[in-house]
Amino acid sequence: MATRLSYESSEPPLMLEYVKRTDDFSMDADHYHACYEIYYLMSGERSYFIRDSSYHVRKGDLVFINTRELHKTTGVGSPGHERLVIYFYIEWLQKHYEEHLELLLAPFLQRQPVIRFTVKEQMLAEQLIQRLMREMTHAAAGRDLAIRQAVADLMLLASRQVDSSDVSSAEPFDSPLHQKMSEVARYINEHYSEPIHLNGLAERFYLSPYYLSRSFRKAIGLTMNEYLNLVRVRAAEQLLKDTELPVTEIAANVGYDNFSHFGKTFKKITKASPRTYRNTR
């Protein structure tokens, strides 16, 4: 069971999505996008996999997801949670706050993506979130302006705290299992263009193939093949946009020795063939 509320401004778009769930929920496996994302957990707990590590996100935490960053949330503890997510493209920030781009984007560029405020700053963040909720619920005059200002204020609050000793960042899960699986994920990120197979990874990290397969899914929330395909397809998207390399060469460059398999996997994740993707970007 889920309660939803959404808002979207005109071009360039700014999107807000509120969801309250009473049951267990995990995001779809294939998840990264070209927009920036700010995730605020209003109640409950979540395990949030970002880039190559899993974080324990608690009520009041603010999560910053950079563009094209692999991420996925899964449940922790009791079922149910409540969250507000803000999405925007760089064009939105350039149009309204171009002179402050570097400052406002700072939280998206730090290594630790989860900001955990002290009590004082948390109260300010909560006030801004409640302002956004009121504006989303009641379409009063000037709603677009009010929402834009509240989002900017929230980003400014976080940006001022990035280098401050008054705020802490949530650290990745520190269990031996999570640490080891983060090592595996980092290895995949760095070596995706090479042949990668379960048995070879298991041998490299001194694990049994069964244990590696089961533990990776438990810690990351994705199977190893799902994660590997996401990393490779994301790299292929970038090459399709930035180069004129033939599609067959791009497939080989990102680790696929079977062009047909590359095409099917690419289309499954992006909903477009590699050539269609190139022609529409």
Kindly report, residue by residue over 111-124, the tens digit of the pLDDT. 889 998 888 889 99
Task: For residue range 127-142, list pLDDT tens digits in order.
Answer: 999 999 999 998 889 9
The per-residue pLDDT for range 240-271, each reduced to its tens digit, is 999 999 999 999 999 999 999 999 999 998 88
- At 215, the pLDDT band (50, 70, 90 cuts) reads very high
Question: Among 73-87, 121-135, 196-210, 225-239, whose mean pLDDT is lowest?
Answer: 73-87
The CATH architecture annotation of domain 176-280 reads Orthogonal Bundle (1.10)
Q: pLDDT, tens digit, for every residue of 29-76?
A: 557 888 999 999 999 999 888 888 888 899 999 999 999 999 988 887
For residues 218 and 146, the model is more confident at 146
Residue extents of the structural domains in the chain: 2-169, 176-280
Q: Do domains 2-169 and 176-280 have the same CATH topology?
A: no
Question: What percentage of the chain has pLDDT greater than the value 90?
Answer: 68
**Quick one: 2-169 is in which CATH superfamily?**
Regulatory protein AraC (2.60.120.280)
Residue 146 pLDDT grade (very low, low, confident, very high; cuts 50, 70, 90)? very high
The predicted pLDDT at position 254 comes to 96
> What pTM does this model have?
0.84
DSSP string of the chain, one letter each residue: -EEEEEEE-SSSPEEEEEEEESS-----SS---SSEEEEEEEESEEEEEETTEEEEEETT-EEEE-TT--EEEEE-SSS-EEEEEEEE-HHHHHHHHGGGHHHHHHHHHSS--EEE--HHHHHHHHHHHHHHHHHHHS--TTHHHHHHHHHHHHHHHHHHHTT-TT-EEPPBP-SHHHHHHHHHHHHHHHHTTS---HHHHHHHTT--HHHHHHHHHHHHSS-HHHHHHHHHHHHHHHHHHH----HHHHHHHTT-S-HHHHHHHHHHHHSS-HHHHHHH-
